[in-house]
């Protein structure tokens, strides 16, 4: 049985004052029946890990370098994130792919580094509005999966997040049938590549304008094991509603 996961991506948001939201979240969900993960900016990661130690909230990173160390000014390695308290790392988010020109092979290299460090890689895939309207969604997702997901992947070190680019932060959400089609496709591709055992054990998250008001119906869709949440994860009150919805599935 795949354990459900509510993951929050704070992106480039949050200063020290935002850590109080973690206190509120941990107090609201002292023993959650689902996994809860918050990925704050790197400047807050160590303090967030200390703040949530012994609670039902884990913390993760938003990106890493593929190398374990070296002359890479401004970058952070997977080992450094682990040392700061991270248990997982988001990789290949559309904002990284678009803003920094990351290609599938870059994401795969980073994912290998994350897995080598003993962390979970949350690999993001998703299509643009133009690709969706051209009926190329599954081809795009399949290509991203083939290029970005390492051969060493297992249900313990890999999580796949489907985030249609056109739905991120826009308030637009695919229909439940559209979400289900992509998640079923991802599951089938994983099973074909890694075998049924591994393929069925990898958790699949949906991300893109998930809110307390629409979370329950999204979590009822086939092969949706949780969510990767952006803006609604910044406030404990909002994210708590999403956790409640996931726990009720």
Taking the model in full, what pTM does it have?
A: 0.97
| pLDDT of 185 strictly over 90 | yes
Spell out the domain ranges in the chain.
5-247
The predicted pLDDT at position 168 comes to 84
What are the tens digits of pLDDT across the range 42-99?
Answer: 999 999 999 999 999 999 999 999 999 999 999 999 999 999 999 999 999 999 999 9
Q: Is residue 93 annotated as part of the catalytic site, yes or no?
A: yes
Which among 93, 102, 127, 183 is annotated as catalytic?
A: 93
Q: Which residues pair with 120 in a beta bridge?
A: 88
Q: Hey, what are 154's tokens? A: 């297992």
Query: Concatenated DSSP letters for 173-204?
Result: ---HHHHHHHHHHHHHHHHHHH-HHHHHHSEE
Tell me which of 173 and 245 has the higher pLDDT.
Answer: 245
pLDDT at 36: 98
* Mean pLDDT for the stretch of residues 38-42: 98
The residues, any chain, with a CB within 8 Å of residue 183's CB and separated by 6 or more, are 162, 204, 206, 221, 222, 223, 224
For this structure, is 163 an active site residue? yes
pLDDT of residue 173: 82
Over 90: is that where the pLDDT of 170 sits?
A: no
Nearest to 164 by CA among 207, 201, 203: 207
Mean residue pLDDT across the chain: 97
- Encoding tokens for residue 65? 């370098």
From the list 21, 102, 163, 183, the catalytic residue is: 163
Q: Taking 90 as the threshold, does the pLDDT of residue 165 lie above it?
A: yes
Please calculate the CA angle 232-236-242 and round it to the nearest 5 degrees: 55
Return the closest-CA partner of residue 30 out of 249, 238, 248, 236: 236
Cβ neighbours of residue 178 under 8 Å, at least 6 residues apart? none
Please name the fold of domain 5-247. Answer: TIM Barrel (3.20.20)
The helix (run of H) or strand (run of E) holding residue 47 is helix 42-52
- b/e code 156-191 from CB counts within 10 Å (16+ = b): ebbbbbbbbbbbbeeeebbeeeebbbbbebbbebbe
Backbone angles phi, psi at 229, to 5 degrees: -110, 135
Contact 188, 202 (CB under 8 A): no
pLDDT of residue 240: 98
The more confident residue out of 168 and 196 is 196
Mean pLDDT of the region 95-119: 98
Q: What does the pLDDT look like over 124-162, one tens digit per residue?
A: 999 999 999 999 999 999 999 999 999 999 999 999 999
Find the largest Cα–Cα distance for the chain.
48
């Amino acid at each position: 049985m795949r354990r459900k996961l509510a993951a929050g991506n704070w992106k480039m948001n949050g200063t020290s004052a935002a850590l109080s939201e973690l206190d509120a979240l941990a107090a609201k969900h002292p023993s959650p029946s689902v996994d809860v993960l918050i990925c704050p900016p790197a400047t807050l990661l160590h303090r967030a890990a200390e703040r949530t130690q012994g609670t039902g909230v884990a913390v993760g990173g938003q990106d890493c370098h593929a190398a374990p160390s070296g002359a890479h000014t401004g970058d952070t390695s997977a080992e450094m994130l682990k040392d700061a308290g991270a248990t997982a790392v988001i990789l290949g988010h559309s904002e990284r792919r678009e803003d920094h020109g990351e290609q599938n092979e870059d994401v795969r290299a980073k994912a290998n580094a994350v897995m080598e460090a003993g962390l979970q890689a949350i690999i993001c895939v998703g299509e643009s509005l133009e690709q969706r309207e051209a009926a190329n969604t599954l081809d795009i997702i399949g290509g991203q999966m083939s290029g970005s997901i390492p051969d060493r992947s297992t249900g313990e070190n890999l999580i796949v997040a489907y985030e249609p680019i056109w739905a991120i932060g826009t308030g637009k959400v695919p229909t439940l049938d559209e979400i289900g089609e992509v998640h079923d496709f991802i599951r089938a591709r994983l099973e074909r590549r890694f075998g049924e055992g591994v393929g069925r054990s990898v958790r699949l998250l949906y991300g893109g304008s998930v809110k307390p008001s629409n979370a329950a119906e999204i979590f009822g869709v086939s092969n949706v094991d949780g969510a990767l949440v952006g803006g609604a994860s910044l406030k404990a009150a909002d994210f708590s509603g999403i956790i409640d919805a996931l726990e009720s599935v």
